[in-house]
């Protein structure tokens, strides 16, 4: 994930990581100002995120700093198609899909 003082969040992924080389592709970029309510993403500090590659959606957890000087934990859902959702929980866990049936 790449962010700077802008309203656009860029997510990059790689399928190739070697000792002296990595190949990165732009997964998607999205304007998050309508979601955060602030023009600059430096107000949002990312703690963790995961992506759903086929639907091009990312779930991003972090701290959002508001104009009153308060930080609060939030999770946002963003997608290439402009899908936005703000959730008020921060515990995001990774998982590895498996074809093993749960009994």
Give the pLDDT mean for 8-17: 82
Least confident of 1-5, 13-17, 41-45: 1-5
| 101 lies in some domain | no
Q: For residues 18 and 54, what is the distance between their CA atoms, to the nearest angstrom?
A: 24
**pLDDT of 68-101, one tens digit each?**
776 777 888 888 887 677 777 655 566 666 666 6
| 96 lies in some domain | no
- Mean pLDDT for the chain? 74
Domain count, the chain: 1
Q: Helix, strand, coil: what percent of the chain each, to 5?
A: 5, 50, 40
| E strand or H helix that includes residue 36 | helix 33-36
| 99 lies in some domain | no
Name the residue range of residue 16's domain: 8-87
- Say if residue 90 is exposed, middle or buried (CB neighbours under 10 Å; 0-12, 13-18, 19+): middle
Question: Residue 32: what pLDDT?
Answer: 73
Q: DSSP state, 43? A: G
Structure pTM? 0.65
């Amino acid at each position: 994930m790449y962010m700077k003082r802008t309203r656009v969040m860029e997510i990059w992924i790689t399928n190739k990581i070697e000792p002296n080389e990595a190949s990165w592709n732009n997964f998607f970029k999205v304007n998050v100002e309508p979601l955060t309510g602030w023009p600059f993403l430096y107000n949002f500090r990312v703690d963790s995120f995961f992506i759903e590659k086929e639907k091009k959606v990312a779930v991003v957890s972090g701290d959002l700093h508001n104009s009153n000087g308060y930080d609060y934990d939030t999770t946002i859902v963003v997608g290439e198609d402009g899908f936005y959702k703000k959730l008020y929980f921060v515990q995001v866990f990774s998982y590895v899909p498996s074809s093993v049936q749960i009994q």
